[in-house]
């Protein structure tokens, strides 16, 4: 029998945590034959609710779930972790400036990065979900000098999945027929969902759509503002779809992309496509054997270049701000 994989989830008592933990425990994160041990990391105020969720996890009698620990100590929470899902973050509250938001999150992600550095397993893989996800990932990565930088990733898979869904609705295609879509840049309103290299049932998506006004005025803003539209409709933020995207991100990272397809992940740039090295930016990637590679050699047209550059500029500004605050 396989040794269980240790999966740490921060913010376990939150909305996304509640939608995420049951799917991890039922085998959707890593595979239907991979046993897991869960470690739930919360702040003291969240511990009781996390215990309630753990009771429900017990009550599911998941065959793959080999244990649940709950803690408010990052050193305990990340001890031996093979996969860490950093979901807990400080949301922007009314009147909060960007600097306040970045420093509040620095206070979370810097110590968590250090605790990962000091305690996690050698093969640790980190996904940051908590916003601002790319820059929080950068802060955690900078605090973990002994962990290879490429193990720190930020979630743009929800944007990727939203874009596939919008494109399927526009063209009448099945979501499973859409391949090679890319989210570039930051998980924010400046993100750029790119269909110029995407395919719909083997045909170029941009040529199939053949409507640049729809791209610029409908598709891109609909994908970028989908989070706000969900809040408006549901009265609460998107939690189940975010949890689903976190599952997809890690599952693809561990188990590989399909032949001929790729996915989108926020990863430390190696300088590809003019994105300054070290920024955690979303790229098209293929994955295999637990490693990812940026898809190289794509032609970037003017329409795409301007939008990628704008989102990357925002990431550089966030990096400069956290550098100014001494967080990296
Ligand atoms: P929530 O507010 O329901 O839950 C957050 C949980 O994190 C709370 O239980 C809180 O006690 C906990 N927490 C706060 N600080 C912590 C710390 N230092 N250590 C451990 N736990 C801590 O929020 P929700 O809806 O679950 O969202 C979580 C984050 O995910 C938010 O930052 C949200 O903006 C982000 N998000 C990111 C998406 C993406 O696509 N990257 C999509 C949707 C949400």
Residues with CB under 6 A from ligand 1: 10-11, 13-17, 41-43, 46, 87-89, 91, 108, 129-131, 133, 155, 158, 187, 237-239, 242
Q: CB within 8 A of 21, min separation 6: which ones?
A: 9, 12, 38, 40, 53, 57
Distance CA 308, CA 282 (A): 10
Residues 6 or more apart whose Cβ sits within 8 Å of residue 194:
181, 182, 183, 184, 304, 307, 308
Band the pLDDT of 91: cuts 50, 70, 90. confident
- Is the pLDDT reported for residue 1 higher than 80? no
pLDDT band at 93 (very low <50, low <70, confident <90, very high): confident
Question: How many helices (H) and strands (E) would you count in the chain?
Answer: 12, 14
**Which secondary-structure segment (H or E) carries 206?**
helix 205-209
Q: What would the pLDDT profile of 39-55 be if each residue is shown by its tens digit? A: 999 999 999 999 999 99
Catalytically active residues, by annotation: 187
Average pLDDT, integer, range 299-325: 97
- Residue 145 CA to ligand 1 center (angstroms) comes to 25
Q: Which of 108, 122, 106, 149 is nearest to 319 (CA)?
A: 106
Task: Report the pLDDT averaged over residues 81-95.
Answer: 93
Q: What number of other Cβ atoms are within 10 A of residue 177's Cβ?
A: 15
Our mutation pick for probing the ligand 1 site, out of 130, 140, 160, 162, counting the most ligand atoms within 8 A of Cβ, is 130
The residue among 28, 86, 16 whose CA lies nearest residue 53 is 16
Residue nearest to atom 42 of ligand 1 (CA): 242
This complex has an ipTM of: 0.98
Beta bridge partners, 218, equal none
Residues 157, 165: contact at Cβ < 8 Å? Answer: no
- Average pLDDT over the chain reads 97
24 or 96, which is more confident? 24
Span 153-168, pLDDT tens digits = 999 999 999 999 999 9
Residues flagged as binding site: 11-17, 92, 98, 105, 112, 129-131, 162
DSSP annotation of 8 reads E
How remote is the CA of residue 90 from the centroid of ligand 1, in Å? Answer: 7
CA of 292 to the centre of ligand 1 (A): 26
**pTM reported for the whole predicted model:** 0.98
Task: Determine the distance separating the centroid of ligand 1 and the alpha carbon of 112, expressed in angstroms.
Answer: 14
Q: Whose CA is nearest to atom 18 of ligand 1?
A: 108
């Amino acid at each position: 029998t396989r040794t269980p994989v240790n999966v740490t989830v921060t913010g376990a008592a939150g909305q996304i945590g509640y939608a995420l933990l049951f799917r991890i425990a039922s085998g959707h994160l890593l595979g239907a034959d991979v046993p897991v041990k869960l470690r739930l990391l919360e702040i003291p105020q969240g511990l009781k609710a996390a215990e309630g969720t753990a009771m429900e996890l017990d009550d599911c009698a998941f065959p793959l779930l080999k244990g649940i620990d709950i803690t408010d100590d990052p050193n305990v929470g990340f001890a031996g972790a093979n996969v860490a899902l950093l979901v807990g973050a400080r949301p922007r509250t009314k009147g909060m400036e960007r600097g306040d938001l970045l420093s509040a999150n620095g206070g979370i992600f810097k110590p968590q990065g250090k605790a990962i550095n000091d305690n996690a397993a050698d093969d640790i893989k980190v996904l940051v979900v908590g916003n601002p996800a790319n820059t929080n990932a950068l802060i955690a990565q900078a605090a973990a000098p002994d962990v290879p930088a490429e193990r720190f990733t930020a979630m743009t898979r929800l944007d990727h999945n939203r874009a596939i869904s919008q494109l399927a609705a526009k063209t009448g295609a099945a979501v499973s027929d859409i391949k090679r879509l890319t989210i570039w840049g930051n998980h924010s309103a400046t993100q750029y969902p790119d269909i110029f290299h995407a395919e719909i049932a083997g045909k170029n998506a941009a040529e199939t759509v053949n409507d640049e006004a729809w791209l610029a005025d409908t598709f891109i803003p609909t994908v970028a503002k989908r989070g706000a539209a969900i809040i408006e409709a549901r009265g609460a933020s998107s939690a189940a779809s975010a949890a689903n995207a976190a599952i997809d991100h890690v599952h693809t990272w561990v188990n590989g992309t399909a032949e001929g397809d790729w996915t989108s992940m926020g990863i430390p740039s190696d300088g590809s496509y003019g994105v300054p090295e070290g920024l955690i930016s979303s790229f098209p990637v293929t994955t295999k054997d637990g490693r990812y590679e940026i898809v190289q050699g794509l032609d970037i047209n003017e329409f795409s270049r301007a939008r990628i550059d704008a989102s990357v500029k925002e990431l550089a500004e966030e990096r400069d701000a956290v550098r100014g605050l001494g967080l990296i």
